[in-house]
């Protein structure tokens, strides 16, 4: 087994295994539901492989969780915030880097806030596709802070510049892409919708 440099990789591994076992699913069942191979899921659960954002999207969709929810659960954010006012320092924010694209996600909101807010840094030339099921039971707004985001919402493409926002509608396959030569920084605000 390789050494895990990022402690979040081990936390993600434990969370994926816990979600699978909580449902009573075998590796084969999760592989069928997600489209991720049993071998890859097994490597992720053992902490031998860091999942990419695409793989996390497929696994979270199979669990009917958002990627943000899956990562928040993996981060094990404490239920109590040390500061009673809810101040979270930059150095205390949980970050996760996609080993495939270099995409960096930093959690902004704490566990007591009713919406999940994350800052994303998408490197030049990177693209992260998610299946429609990754957006089930959630409502999202994407707000571009810096750079340009090429956002594919099903068959529709939107070019979003700094200051632009998009509120996501019904679940559809989506791609967050940075076709420019500079980093794109955006915020995702996610609120949970109704579950079946």
User: The CATH number of 94-192 is which of 3.40.50.10540, 2.40.30.30, 2.60.120.10, 3.30.390.30?
Assistant: 2.60.120.10
Residue 72 has a pLDDT of 66
CA dihedral sign of residues 167, 12, 17, 42: positive
Residue 99 has a pLDDT of 87
Residue 194 has a pLDDT of 56
10-residue mean pLDDT profile of the chain (196 residues): values are 53 87 92 90 88 85 76 52 61 79 86 84 95 82 97 96 95 94 96 60
Residue 113 has a pLDDT of 79
The model scores a pTM over 0.85? no
In the chain, where does the domain assigned CATH 1.10.260.40 lie? 7-75
Closest CA to 161 of 176, 145, 183: 145
Helical residues (DSSP H) of the chain, grouped into ranges: 7-22, 27-34, 38-45, 53-63, 67-75
What CATH topology corresponds to 7-75? 434 Repressor (Amino-terminal Domain) (1.10.260)
């Amino acid at each position: 087994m390789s050494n895990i440099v990022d402690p979040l990789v081990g936390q993600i591994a434990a969370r994926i295994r816990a979600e699978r076992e909580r449902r009573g699913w075998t590796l084969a069942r999760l592989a069928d539901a997600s489209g991720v191979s049993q071998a890859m899921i097994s490597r992720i659960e053992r902490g031998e492989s860091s999942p990419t954002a695409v793989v996390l999207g497929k696994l979270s969709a199979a669990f009917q969780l958002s990627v943000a929810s899956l990562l928040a659960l993996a981060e094990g954010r404490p239920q109590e915030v040390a500061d009673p006012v809810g101040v979270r320092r930059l150095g205390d924010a949980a970050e996760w880097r996609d080993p495939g694209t270099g995409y960096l996600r930093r959690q902004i909101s704490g566990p007591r806030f009713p919406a999940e807010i994350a800052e994303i840094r998408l490197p030049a030339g990177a693209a992260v596709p998610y299946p429609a099921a990754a957006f089930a039971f959630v409502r999202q707004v994407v707000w571009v802070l810096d750079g340009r985001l090429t956002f594919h919402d099903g068959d529709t493409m939107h070019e979003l510049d700094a200051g632009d926002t998009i509120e996501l509608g019904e679940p559809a396959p989506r791609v967050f892409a940075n076709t420019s030569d500079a980093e794109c920084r955006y915020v995702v605000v996610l609120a949970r919708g109704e579950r079946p």
